[in-house]
Structure 1
């Protein structure tokens, strides 16, 4: 098993595996994207000045390849405490707009801060834009960044025992450590609901104590408190794993065709109605009651029809990892990013540096072949820049022109 597999994407294998995403077949690209108003808009953490352009204007000033680079997040294993030169060269060559720190690191705040600066120096970005750095800092067995300056974080199961006010305060403390370390974006909290009688059989969430419980109202309250605390510390967040991994048994990192036969569009209360939320992450399981033919990350029915339109979510939709998952191997690596974007997603996680350039090229190729798909790229890049603006990594104001053709 490779070091990348042990570092994982977004769940846990031993102390660091991933919940990953794949699709048996890409779906047709939409003719355009709608600008559906967010159900719960929140102000940017970093208040724009009157002289700052709209984020859409920064995107318009980019070439298409630069826009596509903003739609990718490269997973980098930092367990060794450093980044190899080949990865730094890859960042320089591709201009990838975002990085995900993987592997359980003991560098401490000062060490991660130094590493973050090295990464930012290695990835050229368009004018007004900086590299955004993310990590998985949920607590318990999924706390990527540890060492001096990073408080120990209890598991979500333990966090659920705190009052909402105490959890918000603690989350702000955890977020402040991330901010000091140069990290902008926490791919947390988990909003999956695991029934009490399935905790021991639910490998991705229940077994690892990553969930806030079996009561959807409690899960939503605790997830909101966590989001609020991170927001107070100027850290962006992502609830995951839409539309939920609480009713599956297998881990999508290790198994293909992990399937949920029960969840419907009526069972999504823990993924909607948040304040201060920056993004939603989509899982790679198959949901037979919603789209039996495609994993969620590649389902236009789920990503666009349910999340973007049905729940009126107009912020960033991010994938689970598309790089090293067992299930991702069902689709050629060059097509995976394009397939997620065509389904309605905005930001592609790829924890495999070896396939990043090919996956980005796949998006460029699809854009060249499909003008309808190409028209969606600026809107997606604008959403990503608006997320960056929340944490000061883009000097722009939220706002974009309405699309001429609704997505769907």
Structure 2
């Protein structure tokens, strides 16, 4: 990725905040470049561990092996590294990494597009985070967004792995990036009126716009199956027309066409919100106790996600609702039973949480514990988007738990390996 070395931090912050928070009447032409605040940098970065070190949950041991007396032993025969089991994460991808480096890969922090920027820049550097989510709304256009992304990449400055740069660019009411250089994308319900081949071509163009701004992961498309009769009371999806029609066939054909178009542009996608938010009334972002009493392991809504997985989506996002027919005791994102259903569909990629930093559905769970419960359930990537300040507590809790619990440390290893494997596609 192109490195950007901004200058003039104080005055520039004002300029970029004004550009990105340009209000409802966005610019009619692409704005001139603005100088972005330079993220504070330090040269005291951890050294790169040896690739031959063991893939434990902490730093590699510095203990030397005992010497062998001359002539007293036969030469050792090198042992071949076994191939990973099909479907299992390739742990060699994170062999020799420190625990902090591995935990950093499995937490994605929010970067408010209207600012402030520096707190997120600091977290990317200090917590060694491997992912950032452009959060909020801006009508400033592509150029200021690209400057913001470049500064985030510069703040992370990770030599090992590229930075996941994500956003929500579904269309309709859920489109973070607007203005010159970004199309006004219709809602999913309107996209479902298009022929799938036409939709794929349009999605390719929308993906090209994201790629030009430095975004490499779109947390879309929505594959929630919403009954037409209850759409008007379905607060998270139906009310906003975020669903690709009302049938398994429509959601599958059009949701997959959208995802394929993004992939054609080199942008990864995350289908969401497994196992489906089409049967709830409350929105987990602003409501507690959101519960689905209908969806089970054999419900049609899972068929849609199965088709999305078969189509090649790199990530699957877990819902935070409770599903009494799957696990009545915990939100899906904290439920091994619910997360396990994703793996039973044959998915071996990255499972990402919905936002766990500010969602009212999970607010009674201590901040750090939310990340621990999600990873313990099988989630690979924890999203802290709406309240970025939650990320350090999540990182700290994950590190402490992994140090104390070898079984949990193994889950961190697996999650980090899956994230790193997903990022390999970004470098092709």
Normalising by structure 2, we get a TM-score of: 0.77
Which of 347, 363, 374 is the matching residue for 2:398? 363
Q: Aligned partners of 1:128 and 1:77: how far apart in 2?
A: 25
2:78 matched residue in structure 1: none
Deviates more, 1:341-350 or 1:213-222: 213-222
1:31 matched residue in structure 2: none
Residue 263, structure 1, aligned to residue 295, structure 2: yes
Q: Aligned partners of 2:379 and 2:176: how far apart in 1?
A: 25
Residue 100, structure 1, aligned to residue 133, structure 2: yes
- 1:239 is paired with a residue of what secondary structure? strand
- 1:368 is paired with a residue of what secondary structure? helix
2:87 matched residue in structure 1: 37
Q: Aligned partners of 1:141 and 1:86: how far apart in 2?
A: 27
Which of 315, 335, 342 is the matching residue for 1:307? 342
CA offsets 1:246-281 (integer angstroms, 9 cap, x no match): 000001111111000000111211101332311100
Rate the CA distance shift 1:153–1:262 in 2: closer, same or farther, 3 A: same
Asked if the contact 1:98–1:133 (Cα under 8 Å) also holds between the matched residues in 2, the reply is yes
1:383 matched residue in structure 2: 418
Per the TM alignment, residue 128 of structure 1 is displaced from its structure 2 partner at its CA by 3.0
Q: Aligned partners of 1:88 and 1:390: how far apart in 2?
A: 25
Per the TM alignment, residue 329 of structure 1 is displaced from its structure 2 partner at its CA by 1.2
Residue 190, structure 1, aligned to residue 222, structure 2: yes
Asked if the contact 1:55–1:385 (Cα under 8 Å) also holds between the matched residues in 2, the reply is no
Let me know the Cα RMSD of the aligned residues: 1.8
1:332 matched residue in structure 2: 366
Q: How does 1:9-408 map to 2 (within 5 A)?
A: 37=87, 56-78=91-113, 80=114, 82-125=115-158, 127-267=159-299, 268-273=302-307, 274-304=310-340, 306-308=341-343, 310-351=344-385, 352-392=387-427
Asked if the contact 1:231–1:276 (Cα under 8 Å) also holds between the matched residues in 2, the reply is no
Q: Aligned partners of 1:284 and 1:36: how far apart in 2?
A: 29
- 2:363 is paired with a residue of what secondary structure? helix
Per the TM alignment, residue 90 of structure 1 is displaced from its structure 2 partner at its CA by 2.1
Asked if the contact 2:170–2:220 (Cα under 8 Å) also holds between the matched residues in 1, the reply is yes
Q: Aligned partners of 2:294 and 2:422: how far apart in 1?
A: 33
Unpaired runs of 5+ residues, structure 1, are 1-33, 39-53, 396-408
Per the TM alignment, residue 85 of structure 1 is displaced from its structure 2 partner at its CA by 2.2
Per the TM alignment, residue 296 of structure 1 is displaced from its structure 2 partner at its CA by 0.2
Q: Aligned partners of 1:55 and 1:111: how far apart in 2?
A: 37
Per the TM alignment, residue 35 of structure 1 is displaced from its structure 2 partner at its CA by 5.2
Per the TM alignment, residue 124 of structure 1 is displaced from its structure 2 partner at its CA by 3.5
- 1:237 is paired with a residue of what secondary structure? strand
Q: Aligned partners of 1:140 and 1:321: how far apart in 2?
A: 20
Asked if the contact 1:74–1:100 (Cα under 8 Å) also holds between the matched residues in 2, the reply is yes
How many residue pairs match? The answer is: 341
Asked if the contact 1:36–1:312 (Cα under 8 Å) also holds between the matched residues in 2, the reply is no
CA offsets 1:113-161 (integer angstroms, 9 cap, x no match): 1110000111132x33121100000000101011111111000000000
Per the TM alignment, residue 55 of structure 1 is displaced from its structure 2 partner at its CA by 7.0
Which one has the largest radius of gyration?
Answer: 2
- 2:277 is paired with a residue of what secondary structure? coil
1:24 matched residue in structure 2: none
Q: Aligned partners of 1:157 and 1:86: how far apart in 2?
A: 37
Per the TM alignment, residue 332 of structure 1 is displaced from its structure 2 partner at its CA by 0.6
Unpaired runs of 5+ residues, structure 2, are 1-83
Deviates more, 1:167-176 or 1:101-110: 101-110
Q: Aligned partners of 2:170 and 2:399: how far apart in 1?
A: 34
Normalising by structure 1, we get a TM-score of: 0.81
CA offsets 1:197-236 (integer angstroms, 9 cap, x no match): 1011001000000001211111011111011100100100
